[in-house]
Homo-oligomer: A and B are copies of this chain.
Amino acid sequence: MPAPSDYDEFAYIEWIRAHVSGHSRLTLGIGDDTASLHFPAPADCLITVDMLLEGVHFQIPPLTPRNAGRKALAVNLSDLAAMAGQPLAAVVSVAFPRGRKPDFHRELHRGIQELADQFGVAVAGGDTNTWDGPLVISVSVVGEATGSAAVRRNGARVGDWILTTGSFGGSLAGKHVSFQPRVNEALQLHQAVSLHAMIDVSDGLAADLHHVLQESGVGAVLSADAIPISEAARSATDERTAIERALGDGEDFELLFTVTPQEGRKLLSEPPVDVKLSHIGEIVEPKTCELKDSAGVRRLLLPTGWTHAF
């Protein structure tokens, strides 16, 4: 798998090889042409990839290489969570800016490894390169569907309640680096109720809700008062309102999902997860997305999080 261009990179790979954790399902890790992950029974193998680019998705500083490594894995774990999948293994390709010291390389790996260990994910392989460009990290995570099937975006049904974990907006103040991918929460929710549709909120609450609506062929009405607005969104000082930040900011990495009203009530009265659950709206037949204020006035909610009067 690795085709490094010089011996420092071989040395880095050997260092990683000595620092990764074992995994009961990993039948072959770093050091061959591919990794190998055992599926002991018929399974749906989930696969995702995300690429983070220095100067686009992050800057070092203020982030450290450890932050960047952690985040590159975390965004993928969030994608697995969105399917209620169990992540199992990650492969990592990196382009390092030339001239960085070994500790820069190692800190990046430590950021990945710590989060991988927290979620029981094997760091199974990778490809390491050095170049004259900025830092590039691409992580691909493989996992497996749990329960009866993976939870897709396209299953929202008219009448469903729309629920979310956590709170929204202002992630760039810090949460975008330190967020906890909602892997365990998704598994707990998937066990407790029938999740009709689910997505992780990376583009923004309004944008990702629109993805669910588009794939499901339905619309939604959200209650402005019910949107859980983060402290960071409340205390920000740009020209927008707090709710516009909550609807538009992105990088919250919370879950948005739909269930029957009955199961929604069950989740709110006996939450199977520690994180706050909020009932923010309903799925409706007309294929529009509206935001309703406390006076009952409805406005069109755009994927950007901005609202327009009808």
Contact = CB atoms under 8 A, between A and B. Distances in A.
Contacts of A85: 34
Nearest to A48: B34
A9 B36 CA distance: 33
A259 to B, nearest CB: 18
Nearest to A91: B49
Contact of A49 (B140, B153, B202): B140
A125 interface: yes
A42 B41 contact: yes
Interface in A137-189: 138, 140, 142-143, 145, 150, 152-154
A75 B3 CA distance: 10
Interface string A114-127: 00000000001111
5 contacts: A3-B75, A35-B47, A37-B44, A47-B91, A55-B131
Contacts of A243: none
B138 A93 contact: yes
State the oligomeric state as a number of copies: 2
Interface residues of A, number: 66
A140 B76 CA distance: 14
A134 interface: yes
Interface of A: 1, 3, 5, 27-28, 31-51, 53, 55-57, 75, 79-80, 82-83, 85, 89, 91-95, 124-127, 129, 131-134, 136, 138, 140, 142-143, 145, 150, 152-154, 199-200, 202-203, 215
B215 A31 contact: yes
A49 B83 contact: no
Q: Which of A3, A43, A200 is most buried by chain B, counting CB atoms within 10 A of its CB?
A: A3
Q: Which 9 A-B pairs have the closest CB atoms?
A: A33-B82, A51-B93, A138-B138, A140-B140, A34-B48, A49-B91, A34-B46, A33-B79, A93-B138
A36 to B, nearest CB: 5
Given A49-B127, A133-B134, 18 more contacts: A3-B50, A34-B46, A34-B85, A35-B48, A36-B45, A37-B45, A39-B43, A41-B42, A48-B91, A48-B125, A51-B127, A51-B129, A53-B131, A55-B133, A57-B129, A127-B138, A133-B136, A136-B136
A303 to B, nearest CB: 9
A56 B142 CA distance: 28
A89 B153 CA distance: 21
Contacts of A5: 56
Given A45-B37, A48-B1, A203-B3, A140 B32 contact: no
B152 A32 contact: yes
Contacts of A39: 39, 42-45
Contacts of A125: 47-49
B44 A27 contact: yes
